[in-house]
């Protein structure tokens, strides 16, 4: 399943690269922001809540002229903080990831105001690689690769600053039982659900 999703993401990247014409506009930028994560767990015995983390990194953007369609690719450090309740005990699960989101981006340019403000929408896959601890206590572990699909929107100001918000829908298990160990007596799996709010400066 995981290999299939990663292959689909790679195919999506190659299709975007092939679709963007040679005269596309290119920008490089730096990006930072806030990440609010909640683990969606498949058991009513677990109660997870929203926790704030942060993110920062670099991005590149290609935009095809006239149609204003392109994509942006980022390399981000992400701290995702979450906690859940098990048998009246709070389990904290703070994780660090190296994340690579690739978004199809459409800019809605209105000629009269395009140099000042340009709204845009985005969607695309994201692959995150765990760089912090894998095991949580004895019974649970974080998986090393997390794949999600993002949906976002934002505005570009003066063709230099981009303010954006996106929602990430986890497609693979970010959290699960250690094989052979189950405190609750059930197989547990948790998928990331997160909001990310960022500001980027384009050069």
pLDDT of residue 24: 67
Residue 133 has pLDDT above 60, yes or no: yes
Could you give the CA distance from residue 143 to residue 177 in angstroms, rounded to a whole number?
10
Tens digit of pLDDT for each residue in 152-186?
Answer: 999 999 999 999 999 999 999 998 888 766 555 56
Could you give the CA distance from residue 46 to residue 19 in angstroms, rounded to a whole number?
44
| Domain CATH for 71 | 2.40.160.20
pLDDT band at residue 148, thresholds of 50, 70 and 90? very high
Beta bridge pairs of residue 41: 190
Could you give the CA distance from residue 26 to residue 14 in angstroms, rounded to a whole number?
17
Could you give the CA distance from residue 77 to residue 128 in angstroms, rounded to a whole number?
9
Tens digit of pLDDT for each residue in 64-113?
Answer: 887 889 999 999 999 998 877 766 777 788 899 999 999 999 999 888 89
Phi–psi pair at 117, nearest 5 degrees: -145, 135
The domain total for the chain is: 1
Beta-strand relationship, 145-157 and 140-142: unpaired
Structural domain range at position 58:
2-202
pLDDT of residue 181: 64
Q: Considering the entire predicted model, what is its pTM?
A: 0.82
């Amino acid at each position: 399943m995981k290999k299939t999703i990663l292959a689909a993401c790679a195919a999506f990247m190659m299709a975007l690269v092939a679709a963007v014409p040679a005269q596309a506009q290119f920008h490089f930028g730096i990006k930072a922001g806030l990440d609010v994560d909640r683990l969606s767990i498949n058991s009513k015995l677990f109660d997870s809540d929203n926790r704030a983390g942060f993110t920062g990194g670099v991005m590149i953007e290609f935009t095809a002229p006239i149609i204003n369609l392109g994509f942006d690719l980022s390399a981000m450090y992400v701290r995702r903080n979450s906690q859940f309740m098990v048998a009246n005990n709070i389990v904290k699960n703070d994780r660090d990831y190296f994340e690579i989101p690739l978004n199809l981006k459409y800019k809605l340019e209105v000629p009269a105001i395009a140099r000042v403000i340009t709204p845009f929408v985005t969607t695309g896959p994201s692959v995150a690689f765990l760089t912090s601890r894998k095991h949580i206590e004895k019974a649970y572990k974080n998986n090393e690769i997390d794949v999600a699909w993002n949906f976002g929107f934002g505005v570009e100001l003066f063709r230099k600053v981009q303010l954006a918000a996106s929602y990430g829908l986890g497609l693979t298990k970010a959290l699960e039982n250690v094989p052979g160990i189950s405190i609750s007596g059930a197989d547990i799996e948790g998928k990331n659900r997160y909001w990310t709010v960022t500001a980027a400066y384009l050069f």
